[in-house]
Every structure is written in structure tokens, then in C-alpha cells.
Amino acid sequence: MPPLILASALSNYSSRLITECPQSGMRYSPFLHQTDARAFQHLAQSSSNQFSYYCGARLCPMDAVIGSLCAQEVIKGCTGKFTPIHQWFYFDALSCVSHHKVDYTPGNRYAGQSILFGDQVQNRLMSLNTFIVGMGAIGCELLKNFAMMGVSCGSGTTWVTDMDRIERSNLNRQFLFRSTDMMRPKSTTAARAIKELNKDMNIQALEYQVGHPTDFYFNDQFYARLDLVLTALDRLDARKFVDLKCVYYRLPMIDSGTHGTRGHCQPVIPHLTESYSSSNDPITRDFAFCTVRHFPNSIEHCIQFALDYFRGVFYNQIEAAHKYTLSPPLLCSHPLVLALKDVYPLHASFDWPSCVSWAFRQFHDHFTNNISQLLHNFPPDHVFPTHTSTDHHPRTPLLGSPQTMSFPHHLRCRQCTLLSSSQPTHIQYITLAAHLRAQSLGIVPQSTPVLHILHSLTVPVFTPQEGLEIGEDDQQPVDPGGMSREDLEKCLVEDKSGVTLTPLQYDKDDDVHAQFLTCVANLRAQNYGIEPTTVYNARFVSGKIVPAMATTTSLVVGLVCLELYKIVQNMTDLESYSSTFVDTAVNQLLKCTPIKCPVSKFAWTLWDRIEITHKMTLSQLFEYLRDEYRVNVDVLSQGNATLYSFFMNKDKQRTRLAME
């Protein structure tokens, strides 16, 4: 017997002895004890029989796990990078096996799998209806494992969706694609390739992005057909959206992700575990707020500034205005007031020239006026307090090292940037900013040249403010408060017709987004005398790109498919499932029991809901909830829309209570 397998078997014996001997009323003894010896022989014989019975099985997920780890060790040996395994390694997935005798049909394609689970489980796998969201590296590995396991190779169907197209950088790890597939849709190309691996697999390829705009397709009827959802996404908001849908439709979900040598696998089981969104990782900021906002000293700080700028102007403000139009609050916070005044300025028109004018003002605000104000607040003879962190090094206009009173010239800001039509970067900024503004407001750009519109605009006169406080550390300004909805409406344009608000999520793979980010970063760098960057580097830094590794992807997907076996067998014991976290660089593989779904004081969990099977008015609904659940309803909402609230005026309350 190979040493690794023998070690695994002996480890299994010892673990079973620890758990089963106390249950039999036995104890460990340093002396010879015939009863314990006979019990040990019986247990060893039972485990030996099981091991002999299972050793002929061949599981694709287990091969993926062990094979990936071995391949990673080869990479370590060839590159001399990361820590090699210099010890015994033991890995088991015995929680996937029910340990009772099964019936299986030898000689078929999936016999190595049926030995462990039987024909009944194999038939369930073949009739499984699954939905894979994302067809990148993880999505390709999932399809490959599904084809080898026989998932959806009978009466079931696997749906895959991805709106992206194949790029050359995908080919090193997304092995279902070839160089001849460049710029083809990932989903349809992967579906075609996987049929060559297993012609019996039933697969439907879609090119939709999963989100609110595609609810017309991913509707109740679509989710009603599914048995399982698997995420292969690289964005947190997309993961949370899919998780929300799975909770709503009570579908099991397996989430997975990789980041270089690190990866994770998390099963979400209805009525058993918490959801993916129930736990949030702490938000970390790579650079100090004050450094990015006022005192950058590297191009990475400038790129982070550009990223914050994009998200603030084209996503946060637009999203806040969109929510306001759906359900205006009685009291508006200061950030909301600023967002609405920018989106709906008084006496403004919503057309292409107004977008160019907005970009013109933005240029002067960020690269001319703000820098002038900073120079006014921090003249050349200003002395900063000593900092202990190198990240707080204030590279301010005309300023240098924070620990001396003399400021080297090479650390000084060169100048405020004045808009010039002869500078390509300036015109590029105006053009890209205007297009993004138009896209976020639903405005169609016109053919009128940007330069023609700029010549008709007047450069705003700027006077530095006296007494304006600019923080020298990471303490952000305190919210000065808000204003009432009525007062705010007087400051906003009344006619909002023709405006369709669309928040823009930054996408490093979008050429317009990446070019705008690079443009803003280089303009910022020019203010502070920092070397400019390239689009390639801006994509790299803003996307926090860590080179993906095929070994990590294969390992994580192997772990996902081991959890799939448990879901197909309808295991209801929380201890049977495992959330796994790996980092092959430091030889770390941690398995833990998923967190149980929390129970509220009303004995409800996030998986519970009240189902109404017939029409009723709001008044009847409130009466039903009061009688059945002893709950008085103060506020009723759907999404961002408030249907009823205790602070509505009486006439509106009566109207809403009578509605069905």
C-alpha cells in the first residue's frame, strides 16, 4: 500500500477510535486490556473493509484537489517561489460518503463514481438543473468537472451565462478557449467546447449579465426550474445579488473565488446555513484617505484618487439620486444634498452641450481650483507635524518631507493645471467625462465637436477661501448636516423628464472606463510632479490584479464539487458541509463548519417568509399579520419604494390601505 494512502487510512482509524470508543463505554489504558484490543481489531477490520471497498473509486473532484496540490509543488520546485510541503499531507472527504451499501452498475462511464454513491445518486447528478453565473477560469473548471461527473447528462440542464468576450489574457487558465476564439462570447464558446468532452451534457449558454436589468429573463419561471446555483464571479455586488435571489427562491448555492494562490469555497444551504451576504469581510483601504485626497506621493495614489472620483461621480451620486426619485426621505443628509445638486442642478438642461459644460467645470474644480486652495492653505513655509508612517508623507504643492522644515524642490507640485485645447490629455478628459456623464443620465451624445462647445464656455473665476479647513491627517470632515426635502426641491431643477439615471460601475475591462481613469490619474500626477502612468498600469492597479493560477482554480473547483455531492444526497446535518479556505503559498488548507443561520427573537431565519395566496388590501394584510403573528406594521416597502408608512399624511394612508 502506498505510504500516503496508508497514512490516510491509519489516520482515519485513529480518528474513529477517538469518537467511537467513548461511545462504547471503553477507555484508553496504558496497560494491556483484552476487551479494548478486541474492540480495536473489530473497528480496524471494519475500517479496512470500507477502505478496500472505496479504494477502487475514482472521483474527478478528488483528483482535481490532489492533482492541483501536486502541480503547485512542481511550480514551487521549478521557480523557487513559495514554501514547499515538507511534511505528511492528509486530506479526506469522508463526509461526502453515507457509509451504507449502495447498488451500482459496473462498466459505464461513471462507474468509478457510482462505487461510492450508487446509481441513485448518479441519476440525481444526471437530472440536476444547475445555473453557473460567470464563465471565466472557475466557470470553465466547473463545466469540465460537470462533464466528467455526469452532471446534467440525463434529463437535467446546466445554464451558463456571461456577457464577456474572450481576450488573449484569458487563454492561460480558461482552457476551454483557443486563440481562434478571440472576441467570441465566453458562454457559447465554452458550451460548444464542453460538448466535445461529453456529448451527453445538456447545456444552455446565455450572454446576459445577472442583475435587475435582466430580471425579464431570470424570472420566477427560470429559478423554479433550478436545483442549484454556482457563482464564478469576480465582483462582490454581483455575488450578493445572486445570493439575494437564492435566498428568495430558497435555492442552495456554492460560492467560490480565487486570488493568486488563495481561494475559498462556501456552501449556502437553505434553512441550514447563513447566506453569503450574512457575513461581510472588513473593508480595508490600501492608502490613507488624507494621502490620496491631498498629499499623494506616488502614481498609485493618483490612480486611487481617480478610482474614488469615478465611483463617487458616476456611481454613488447617480445611485443616491435614483433612490431619491423612487422614495424621497423627509430629511436629506449632506452627501445626498450634494449628490442631488450635481445631478439635478437648478436651471440646467439635459443635453449633450450640458454634459460638456459639466466636464469643463469638473476639470477646473479638481485640477485648478482645488489645487489653488491647497496652495493657499499650505504655503511653502508651512510646517507639518512629524509623521511616523511613510504612507502619510505629504507631497503637497510646494511642500516636501514632513519631518524637516526645508522642503526639497523635487517633491514640490509643479503647478495648477490650466485647461488648454492644445493639450491632448485635457481634451481627452473633457470628451470622456462628457460621454460618461451622458451615459449615466441617459443622454445621447451629439456630433457637435467638443472644442466647438468649449470655445463658448467661460473659465470660472476662483478666489481661495479664507479659513477653509483641510485635514492634515486621516480624519475626514464631519457631516455638516442636511436639509428638509421641501427646501432641497427648491434648489433642484423641476423638470426631470428625459433623464434616465444609470449608475456606472467601474469596469477595468471597459476601454472608456480605463482611459478615463488613466487620464484623471495623469492630470493628478501633473499637479504633484509625479511621473504619469499608462492604461495598462492603471488597469493593473485599479483592478488590484493578482495573476490567476490554474492550480488554485482547479483546487477550489474540486472542493466545490465535493460539496455538490453532499447537496445531491440531501444531507441535512450542518456538520456534513465544509467551508474551505486555501493558500498554497504557505501550505494552508482550513476546513470549517459553515455558520448556522441565525434565529431571530420570533424564531424566524432569513429563509422563512410569510406567503399570501390570495388577493387582499393593505388593510386586510395588516389585520392578518396582527391576528396571526401579533405584528403591527409601521412601514411597508418594496425595494426602494415605500408603500406605506406611519408618517404619511392621512389621505395618502387611507388611499394606500384600500389598495390591493
Short-list 265, 259, 231, CA closest to 580: 265
Q: CA 311, 305, 431: angle at the middle one, nearest 5? A: 65
**Same-domain status, 276 and 302:** no
Rounded to whole angstroms, how far apart are CA atoms 201 and 191?
Answer: 9
Domain CATH number, residue 555: 3.40.50.720
3-state secondary structure of 635: strand
**Same-domain status, 631 and 562:** no
Domain CATH number, residue 366: 1.10.10.2660
Rounded to whole angstroms, how far apart are CA atoms 454 and 427?
Answer: 10
**Same-domain status, 194 and 60:** yes
DSSP conformational letter for 368? I
**Radius of gyration over every alpha carbon of the chain, rounded to an integer in angstroms:** 31
Helix (H) / strand (E) element for 204: namely strand 203-206
Residues in Cβ contact with 487 at an 8 Å cutoff, skipping those fewer than 6 apart? none
Rounded to whole angstroms, how far apart are CA atoms 301 and 343?
Answer: 27
**Same-domain status, 136 and 263:** yes
Tell whether 569 is covered by a domain: yes
Q: Per the confidence metrics, is the pTM higher than 0.75?
A: no
Tell whether 492 is covered by a domain: no
**Same-domain status, 275 and 420:** no
Residue 588 phi, psi dihedral angles, 5° rounding: -115, 125
Start-to-end Cα distance in the chain: 71
Judge contact between 438 and 445, C-beta under 8 A: yes
Tell whether 318 is covered by a domain: yes
**Same-domain status, 154 and 211:** yes
Q: Which residues are catalytic?
A: 290
**Same-domain status, 553 and 585:** yes
**Same-domain status, 111 and 260:** yes
Q: Which amino acid is at 549?
A: M
Tell whether 11 is covered by a domain: no
Tell whether 393 is covered by a domain: no
Residues in Cβ contact with 636 at an 8 Å cutoff, skipping those fewer than 6 apart? 618, 642, 643, 644, 645
Half-sphere exposure of 547 (CA within 13 A, CB side): 5
**Same-domain status, 217 and 302:** no
**Same-domain status, 193 and 70:** yes
Grid cell 424566524 is found at 604
Average pLDDT, whole number, for the chain? 82
Q: Per-residue pLDDT tens for 582-633?
A: 999 999 999 999 999 988 877 889 998 888 888 899 889 999 989 888 888 8
Q: How many CB atoms lie within 10 A of CB 347?
A: 6
Torsion angle (degrees, nearest 10) of CA 433, 439, 444, 450:
0
Tell whether 307 is covered by a domain: yes
Lowest mean pLDDT of 270-274, 405-409, 470-474, 655-659, name the range.
405-409
| Most confident segment among 265-269, 378-382, 388-392, 536-540 | 265-269
Tell whether 44 is covered by a domain: no
Q: Which amino acid is at 341?
A: K
Tell whether 495 is covered by a domain: no
**Same-domain status, 233 and 181:** yes
**Same-domain status, 260 and 350:** no
Q: Per-residue pLDDT tens for 557-578?
A: 999 999 999 999 999 999 999 9
Range of the domain at 631: 618-658
Q: Per-residue pLDDT tens for 7-60?
A: 344 444 444 444 444 444 545 555 556 777 777 777 777 777 777 777 778 899
Number of domains in the chain: 3
